[in-house]
Amino acid sequence: QVQLVESGGGLVQAGGSLRLSCAVSAPALNYYKIGWFRQAPGKEREGVSCLSSGGRSLYADSVRGRFTISRDNAKSTAYLQLDSLKPEDTAVYYCAATRTNSGYCILSPSGFGSWGQGTQVTVSS
């Protein structure tokens, strides 16, 4: 397993933006699929976005057009850009990674073996 450390969360007003970062202790991040998930109080963890090792991205309907997933293989870091934030985006955001040869990813926690500790995102109205 690899180690993942998220950062970039915080408090922002509705309509604002944040960029979450996920530093991954992997020598070749391009061989990993990356996922971002979130969990609000009293709710189940839900998939937000994922990026396959082949570069295909997938977004939940609730965030498509507002969030953007990306990676910098040289820095071994994944990102999630959060724009046009809404109060319902408030949650702890987790990044996850798994080494794979697949060119696809799905928004299921069971598909990822390594997880970060999470970073809190709070959107005020």
Tokens encoding 103: 């060119």
Give the whole-angstrom CA distance, residue 112 versus residue 121: 22
Longest dimension (CA), the chain: 42
CB 94 within 8 A of CB 115: yes
Cα–Cα distances in angstroms (integers) from residue 112 to residues 16, 42, 87, 119, in the given order? 29, 22, 27, 18
Tens of pLDDT, residues 14-46: 999 999 999 999 888 999 999 999 999 999 999
State the pLDDT confidence band at 70, using cuts at 50, 70 and 90: very high
State the pLDDT confidence band at 102, using cuts at 50, 70 and 90: confident
List Cβ neighbours of 6 (8 Å cut-off, separation of 6 or more): 20, 21, 22, 93, 94, 95, 116, 117, 118, 119
Q: Residue 121: name the closest of 76, 80, 72 by CA.
A: 80
Model pLDDT, residue 103: 83
